[in-house]
Structure 1
Amino acid sequence: MTDTSSPISAAQRKSALRGAALAHRDALEIDDRLEWDPLIAERVLALPAFGESAGPVSAYWPMGSEADPRPIAEGLHAQGLPLCLPAIVAKRMLFRRWAPYEPIVPGGFGTLVPQPAQPEAVPAILIVPLAAFDRRGYRIGYGKGYYDAKLTELGDVISIGIAYAAQEIDAVPDEAHDRRLDWIVTERETIRCG
């Protein structure tokens, strides 16, 4: 008998891994995550990239069980670096200026974003959320491709993925449009990718 089934595509493998990765991250104890977020922030703030850049730096507003970049944003703000947050407008990611404790509004996909009146910014460094990662610097996000498209559009920017060590997998099924991160930082280590 001949096997007529088609091979599973990278996108299908990634989709299956995404569901498992999000469930695994959601199962991490909140007390552990609250302990790990400041450790991640300490590692990120020690990266040499911030000494080389005057910003702006894009963070993100955390959703659910994501690693929380707010301690990083507060540290960068204290250093005088300008910040911004992403917003999806007309199916395109853009960035608006923001500083800790400034008002934010619902932005779709369960996110919070700066008010629409805030000026747009072009970040030099992006702090990127993820569901899973591998040591090559590839990530699994939420499947919409906004970060990959924006990293391609921006070109020569520094990308830093933040995650919990438990989110590491052996290999992310990467596709041609996927952009590798420059750094991945967890509560345990700082990984220089590529």
Structure 2
Amino acid sequence: MLGDTGEKARLRGEKLAARDTLTPLERQQKSLSITEHGATGLPFAPGTVISGFMPIRSEADIRPLMEALRGRGARLVLPVVLDRETIVFRAFDVDTPLVKTGFGTTGPGEDAHVLDPDMLLVPLSVFDGQGQRVGYGAGHYDRAIARLYEKGKNPVLVGVAFDCQEAASIPAEPHDVPLHAVLTESGLHWFSAPSSVPFSGQNAV
């Protein structure tokens, strides 16, 4: 019988394979649906620092969503991988050039300001109906979220994925921090009410 770590690895492989079977057109269409749901559904005040991400491999393309959130007054940041242990969040303004930042990612260069996000749009490999998530195995977001908590921050965590990445359940380990919500092509689904932003309780699951 697989332990929790082994089960997470199995789910990761299974759901990333399912995501990879989506055609480019299907990913584009589903990504546009994600934008539509997130652009109006995510609650935040102008000036809120929101972390997005540039898509790699077969991830959802949330670049249109980030621009929609910018239009609502969000201040955007992008995660930048410094090493195998650490990511930081650098300001992503309209005119910010993007550079290769390692590990197959792109982001703002070293001259961009580092900011602590109030809301994180989190890429993932698997999610379940209780808000548990499985990342890509490196633990970058887990450590980044832990550091934000250590600073007294309480960021809103919104997973971004396609519906095909949902699992019936994910084994929760003591260090796991559940998502507040997940955003997919079928909608924005809340698991718990975040304390740091207005919350209407709509779309709760």
TM over 0.5: yes
Contact 1:130 1:161 (8 Å CA) reproduced: yes
Question: Does residue 55 in structure 1 map to residue 74 in structure 2?
Answer: no
Give the match for residue 84 of structure 1: 77
**2:44 is paired with a residue of what secondary structure?**
helix
Contact 2:48 2:73 (8 Å CA) reproduced: no
Matched residues in 2 for 1:59 and 1:45: separation? 13
| Change over 3 Å in CA distance of 1:126–1:14 after alignment to 2 | same
Contact 2:124 2:134 (8 Å CA) reproduced: yes
Contact 1:49 1:158 (8 Å CA) reproduced: no
**Unmatched 5+ stretches in structure 1:** 1-6
Give the match for residue 27 of structure 1: 21
Cα shift readout 1:134-188 (whole Å, capped 9, x = no counterpart)? 0111111101111122222223110111111111110112211111111101111
Cα shift readout 1:64-104 (whole Å, capped 9, x = no counterpart)? 11011111111112223211001122421110001346311
Give the match for residue 168 of structure 2: 170
| Change over 3 Å in CA distance of 1:32–1:101 after alignment to 2 | farther
Question: Does residue 75 in structure 1 map to residue 73 in structure 2?
Answer: no
Matched residues in 2 for 1:129 and 1:87: separation? 13
Matches of residues 113-124 of structure 1 in structure 2 within 5 Å? 113-124=107-118
Matches of residues 9-158 of structure 1 in structure 2 within 5 Å? 9-51=3-45, 54-90=47-83, 91-100=85-94, 102-155=96-149, 156-158=154-156
**TM-score, normalised on structure 2?**
0.86
Identity of aligned residues (%): 34
**Unmatched 5+ stretches in structure 2:** 193-205
Contact 2:15 2:164 (8 Å CA) reproduced: no
Shift of 1:192: 0.6
**TM-score, normalised on structure 1?**
0.90
Give the match for residue 186 of structure 1: 184
Give the match for residue 203 of structure 2: none
Contact 1:73 1:100 (8 Å CA) reproduced: no
Cα shift readout 1:117-148 (whole Å, capped 9, x = no counterpart)? 11101110100001111011111110111112
Cα shift readout 1:35-88 (whole Å, capped 9, x = no counterpart)? 11111112112235224x631110011101101111111111222321100112
* Cα-Cα RMSD: 1.5
